Structure 1
């Protein structure tokens, strides 16, 4: 059967499935857990990954990670970065919080991208190099957070000429308004396809 996502050119990209977000005790977990529960984020994401693996789709992990030198080349450091990275050390390299959430850890054959310092998983990483080396032309994006890293990565992929799919019920955000903005305006604008987990898996 013809599929919209041929295995040789397609990949599922999971953005930031990390302990600081997903594990109790993670630095950001309490702030996002209610929204994750409201949209059934974790059950949907785990069902998506399981289904993609069974279908033989390439899985790509795009993790966040910063340290004391991540912004040495930024002359005008935004207050957001002072507050959330240098001060609170979210996703701090070498710590438990920046490690993959155990139930979603990469497996043999998965591709792990180098850590992004901001929201765009392409900027300052080897994402483009690894996608091109694998011959990937179509990327399906999921993970955290919908209005920040998922959207920003999708915008970059769109401008690079990739076919972009957003898996809209396998994303979440810290508040309902930002999540709604991503789903209502950004994903339909940027994405060539905007699908639920069930719709995507049916195409595999």
Structure 2
């Protein structure tokens, strides 16, 4: 049975990501929301694919997913986060790790939406701390997949050793998130909020006298 842990772990990631995506997309989006999701997903995926190859763990992408959730809501952030690795991995490499990456990135976007709901006046400093925290949490969650697939025996000690082996890479990711969000987060937040306000504009035809 232990020989099938790789299969079980991958199927768990697929099932979890699929169920959460189904729940997030249960309520339909209007055409403008779909356009925003498409643009942000493409932007995040492109940023991850381009910088992921050249800069490894210093990617200006995770903070965009968190900001998407913060500005447009947890559901939008979750979907953009899930689509980011799915799309970018067509260039970086698909594999059994993709469902777990989708789940982790989706949780980044979801956390941005939760932060906005709990602390609506939170600014870029709080978002920067959130992104810095996710640099380590993302690595810890992805280590669960790597540990269950490649490491034996499956014990707490072996997991901690797996996590410690990747702590340097997690630190680079966290540092990159902090630097990019601190430098670009404020301006990006203003742009996304302005775009959200334009999306909320409703044009109502005025009826005066007869029909035109």
TM-score of the aligned structures, taking structure 2 as reference length: 0.30
Higher relative contact order at CA 8 Å, sep ≥6: structure 1 or structure 2? Answer: 1
TM-score of the aligned structures, taking structure 1 as reference length: 0.31
Higher fraction of strand: 1
